[in-house]
């Protein structure tokens, strides 16, 4: 039988800390939060491996690799007073981590069955709310946001999401196509939004963020 507490310590020490993740609040949250509760039945033994873990078939939803997720969250510099939108929350693991760090979290998922699972998993977090809707549209009713975190890759600059940032707000995502993808941080400065690459990263592509094929004569 898997010793999940030991596996969790190994994940934090062997995957996360070694990737220059130094945010003590984040490290504490990842050390405490039982990731195995957020994976499908029968896959619990895979919870702490260094992989993007599929949590459903049809919607292609994943829990991002612990190292990639931790670096994305750290790069967003989430404050205890921040209002956060988690795009593509899947079964809610990322939103639970964010709920440890921020004042409030809106967990957005478009696949109904996955959204219901996230609601059950996040019931113990009063500062996290699950909403169902298209990922590419964000969730304007609860905006604007201090931080938006995308739980997967996008091939396009997510303009609709960027429009939901507060002044000073940040959006972190994995941007690009194929091997050229990089974790990219966008900031809203008085209505002017700029982005810069932060580190190489791989992540499964989120639905609704695929680049349209170029028309060729």
**pLDDT tens across the length of the chain (217 residues):** 689 999 999 999 999 999 999 999 999 999 999 999 999 888 899 999 999 999 876 557 899 999 999 999 999 999 999 999 999 999 999 999 999 999 999 999 998 889 999 999 999 999 999 999 999 999 999 999 999 999 999 999 999 999 999 999 999 999 998 778 999 999 999 989 999 999 999 999 998 998 877 655 5
**What's the structural domain count of the chain?**
1
Model pLDDT for residues 53-88, shown as the tens digit of each residue: 998 765 578 999 999 999 999 999 999 999 999 999
* 3-class state of residue 88 by DSSP: coil
Asked if 66 contacts 30 with a C-beta cutoff of 8 angstroms, the reply is yes
Residue 208 resides in a domain: no
Question: pLDDT at position 134, please?
Answer: 96
Quickly tell me which residue has 């695929």 as its tokens.
210
User: CA–CA separation, 95 vs 107, rounded Å?
Assistant: 6
Residue 210 resides in a domain: no
Residue 209 resides in a domain: no
Output the DSSP codes for 98-164. HHHHSSEEEEEE-SHHHHHHHHHHTTT-TTEEEEES-GGG--GGG--EEEEEEEEEESS--HHHHTT
Question: pLDDT at position 2, please?
Answer: 80
Question: pLDDT at position 111, please?
Answer: 87
Residue 206 resides in a domain: no
For residue 51, what are the contacts with CB-CB under 8 A and spacing of at least 6? 65
Q: What is the largest CA-CA distance in the chain?
A: 59
Return the H-helix or E-strand segment holding 93: helix 93-101
Residue 165 resides in a domain: yes
Question: pLDDT at position 179, please?
Answer: 76
Residue 213 resides in a domain: no
Find the CATH number of the domain harbouring 97: 3.40.50.150
Residue 217 resides in a domain: no
Q: What would you report as the CA-atom Rg of the chain, rounded to the nearest whole angstrom?
A: 16
Q: What is the DSSP letter of 36?
A: G
- Domain residues for the domain of 134 are 4-200
Question: pLDDT at position 13, please?
Answer: 97
Residue 205 resides in a domain: no
User: CA–CA separation, 131 vs 142, rounded Å?
Assistant: 10
pTM of the model as a whole: 0.95
Model pLDDT for residues 152-170, shown as the tens digit of each residue: 999 999 999 999 999 999 9
Per-residue b/e over 25-60, b at no fewer than 16 CB within 10 Å? ebbebbeebebbebbeeeebebbbeeebbbbeeebe
């Amino acid at each position: 039988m898997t010793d999940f507490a030991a596996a969790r310590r190994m994940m934090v020490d062997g995957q996360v800390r070694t990737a220059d993740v130094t945010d003590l609040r984040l490290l504490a949250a990842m050390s405490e939060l039982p990731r195995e509760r957020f994976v499908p039945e029968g896959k619990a033994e895979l919870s702490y491996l260094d992989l993007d873990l599929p949590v459903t078939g049809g919607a292609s939803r994943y829990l991002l690799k612990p190292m990639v997720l931790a670096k994305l969250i750290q790069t967003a510099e989430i404050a205890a007073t921040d209002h956060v939108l988690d795009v593509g929350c899947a079964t809610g693991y990322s939103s639970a981590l964010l709920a440890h760090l921020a004042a409030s979290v809106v967990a957005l998922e478009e696949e109904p069955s996955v959204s219901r699972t996230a609601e059950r998993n996040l019931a113990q977090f009063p500062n996290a709310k699950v909403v169902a809707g298209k990922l590419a549209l964000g969730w304007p009713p609860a905006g604007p946001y201090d931080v938006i975190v995308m739980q997967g890759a996008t091939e396009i600059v997510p303009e609709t999401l960027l429009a939901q940032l507060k002044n000073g707000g940040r959006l972190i995502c994995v941007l690009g196509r194929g091997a050229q993808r990089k974790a990219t941080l966008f900031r809203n400065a008085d209505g002017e939004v700029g982005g810069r690459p932060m580190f190489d990263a791989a992540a499964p592509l989120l639905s609704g963020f695929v680049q349209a094929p170029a028309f060729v004569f």
